[in-house]
Amino acid sequence: MCGLLAYLSTDAPRVDDDRVDDVRAALHCLHHRGPDDTAVWADPHVVLGFNRLSIIDVEGSPQPLPYVGDRYRILFNGEIYNYVELREELAAAGAQLATHGDTETIVAGYHLWGQDVVRRLRGMFSFVIWDTHTRTAFGARDPFGIKPLFTARLADGGLVFSSEKKALLQLLGGSKAAGDVDPASLQHYLTLQYVPEPATLHRGIRRIESGTSFTVVDGELATARYFHPSFRPQPVPAGGEQDLYDRIAAVLDESVAKHMRADVTVGSFLSSGIDSTAIAALAHRYNPDLMTFTVGFQRQAQSEVEIAAESASILGVRHVPVEVSAEQFADAIPEVVWYLDDPVADPALVPLYFVAREARKHVKVVLSGEGADELFGGYTIYREPISLAWASRLPPAGRRAMARIADLLPEGVRGQDLLRRASIPLEQRYYGNARNLRDDELAALLPGRDPDLSHVAVTEDLYRRTREAGYDDVTAMQYVDLFTWLRGDILVKADKMTMANSLELRVPFLDPEVFAIASSLPVEQRVPRRGPGAKDRTTKYALRQAMRQIVPPRIMNRRKLGFPVPTADFLAGPLHDWARGIVTDSQTQEWLDRDVVLGLLDRLRAEEVPSKRIARQLWSVLVFMVWHGIFVEERIVVDVPETVYPVRL
């Protein structure tokens, strides 16, 4: 797990000492991603910089790694979990391997198999390979987008790639040179809680999308999607349901085994739900001394800490809990946002930052349960097509009547949102697992919004593919989430908050073999229907059944908390003045109506039970204001600590 930075000028030799120095200076922004080693290599056409977090082949595999003499140089951020098998296959084909690591398998595979190498990799990755003979580059991101990769074009025409956006901002010469704030991306952010790929909040910086490879030839960037996630529900196998559940358990166990491959200590995050508990239970099979980590808030009514501690005791693992106060939460926000690069309005980022910081004192790698919900059908919202099936049978006039009734009801009345959502088709009401602002609320908050720009623009292509594939509504929602919520929120916070602490996070659910079996499940094995004969009223049905012999019974059907944050209570109480200060100090009046924001704050404080929905809207605004203060106004200066850790843990 590392930080890469590449400057490519393949149409003319432009590299001089000044350019090398620029890359070296910008590389320091990524030091937290790889404090074990820093190296820069250059030729007349490229500068390749790397910060390494040594996990596999700790003493070897330095990057930028050469291959075939000095023909190739590779920068690689991530882990390839089937590297042992790939090395054997490559050696049998005559490849000369000089290291014992996984990095070399990628570049050796590229030399032997060409661009198809990406289809053979089981892992998380973003990489850039430079071919000194052809003066071309090839690179890719992993299928689900676990590892990030940003790109921009400099004023001299050169292309730059980086694991984090802040290094590109430095090379570009600051926020102004990067194109300031992109209004469309801001509008999407306020609705979705994140900026959807491939955009960022700066016009001049983009992301290589998940599941995409790219080439750079004569300075021109060309991308191609190599991974097209496909759900192909199959009947329950002839061996019956238990045979299916046994296969799920076996595939997940094999994935965890491969994700445990490391030359350093591996631990696991542990929350209250089945996903992380299953991962920890399986990991314990391969490491009897496994340590687990969880986080909660002081004086919180619903907390992960006690439940996770109970699960850890049953599993027989060493457990480390972390508790965070409201003051610690607020104090960490500027640093958290600096590490994020682009705002993500998910308060769970903050406790994740703290638990990662504690975990790094004990281990260098952690496993986590991200991806289970998207693959196995775990979000409660996936039950909505079942609960609204009656509405889909109504004629258009009936739906319009429901919409009118919803508009006439006082805001917040029970059932209003149900009527509103029942009145519109899935493609208009569901845009990923985030529902932050309605159009009227966005119009009030963002006076300059583009009324012709909608969240539908983010998902319309995705829904077109689901129609072509003939997906049912539940499967369509899962497919949409793979391209929206998973890679826009879940995986961004997982990468950025752990890497902020030089900690590698691995996600065994997001493995090609696990996806293969999850994507074959009939919808009844993901989200069972209500009614006579229904086996269960829960979500992730097949996964829960598969884990019954592994996960403690009390955990099996518990509603997941997911590192819950009492944001509404914080903003209405101990952090109200802190939030008001952010709003009044912010220079975002070009974008946001400050009076509307202050009105929301006052309304939240006046409510007997603070509204979680209003708190979520406020949180998205506050995170953007802090981001703007850091990256645009440069008014907020973040004192980022130097990252110093031993190579081995």
Query: Is the residue at 320 inside a domain?
Result: yes
Tell whether 600 and 579 lie within a shared domain. Answer: yes
Tell whether 504 and 468 lie within a shared domain. Answer: no
Tell me the pLDDT band of 227, cut-offs 50, 70 and 90: very high
Query: Is the residue at 297 inside a domain?
Result: yes
Burial class (CB within 10 angstroms; exposed 0-12, middle 13-18, buried 19+) of 563: buried
Let me know: does 227 contact 383? Beta carbons within 8 Å: no
Nearest to 362 by CA among 467, 265, 246: 265
Tell whether 184 and 208 lie within a shared domain. Answer: yes
Query: Is the residue at 33 inside a domain?
Result: yes
Tell me the pLDDT band of 646, cut-offs 50, 70 and 90: low
Let me know: does 264 contact 294? Beta carbons within 8 Å: no
Tell whether 604 and 622 lie within a shared domain. Answer: yes
Tell whether 39 and 178 lie within a shared domain. Answer: yes
Q: How many domains does the chain have?
A: 4
Tell whether 358 and 390 lie within a shared domain. Answer: no
Query: Is the residue at 615 inside a domain?
Result: yes
Structure tokens at 110: 């590229």
The predicted structure's pLDDT at residue 409: 79
Query: Is the residue at 641 inside a domain?
Result: no
Q: What is the mean pLDDT of residues 408-434?
A: 80
Tell whether 62 and 208 lie within a shared domain. Answer: yes
Residues 499, 342: Cα–Cα separation, whole Å: 15
Tell whether 10 and 106 lie within a shared domain. Answer: yes
The CATH number of the domain where 206 resides is what? 3.60.20.10
Tell me the pLDDT band of 300, cut-offs 50, 70 and 90: low
Tell whether 339 and 389 lie within a shared domain. Answer: no
The CATH number of the domain where 525 resides is what? 3.40.50.620
Query: Is the residue at 233 inside a domain?
Result: no
The yes-or-no verdict on residue 384 having pLDDT over 60 is: yes
Angle, vertex CA 136, rays to CA 135 and CA 141, nearest 5: 150
pTM over 0.85: yes
Tell whether 348 and 473 lie within a shared domain. Answer: no
The predicted structure's pLDDT at residue 553: 79
Cβ partners under 8 Å of residue 17, min gap 6: none
Unique residue bearing structure tokens 């004086």: 299
Tell me the pLDDT band of 404, cut-offs 50, 70 and 90: confident
* Structure confidence by residue, pLDDT tens digits, 134-170: 999 999 999 999 999 999 999 999 999 999 999 999 9
Cβ partners under 8 Å of residue 260, min gap 6: 266, 283, 286, 287, 367
The yes-or-no verdict on residue 533 having pLDDT over 50 is: no
Q: What is the mean pLDDT of residues 446-462?
A: 92
Which residues form the domain of 170?
2-225
Q: Active-site residue numbers?
A: 2
Please report how the helices 326-340 and 612-631 are oriented relative to each other, as an axis angle in degrees rounded to 10. Answer: 50
Residues 520, 230: Cα–Cα separation, whole Å: 9
Unique residue bearing structure tokens 């009936």: 398
Query: Is the residue at 446 inside a domain?
Result: no
The predicted structure's pLDDT at residue 305: 83
Tell me the pLDDT band of 351, cut-offs 50, 70 and 90: very high
Tell whether 258 and 216 lie within a shared domain. Answer: no
CB 527: neighbour CB atoms within 10 A? 27
Mean pLDDT across the chain = 92
The predicted structure's pLDDT at residue 302: 57
Tell me the pLDDT band of 177, cut-offs 50, 70 and 90: confident
Let me know: does 308 contact 558? Beta carbons within 8 Å: no
Query: Is the residue at 643 inside a domain?
Result: no
The predicted structure's pLDDT at residue 301: 59
Instruction: Return the exposure string of 313-339: e unless at least 16 CB atoms fall within 10 Å of the residue's CB, then b.
Output: eebebebbbbbbebeebbebbbbbbbb
The predicted structure's pLDDT at residue 414: 77
Tell whether 294 and 410 lie within a shared domain. Answer: no
Q: What is the mean pLDDT of residues 472-501?
A: 97
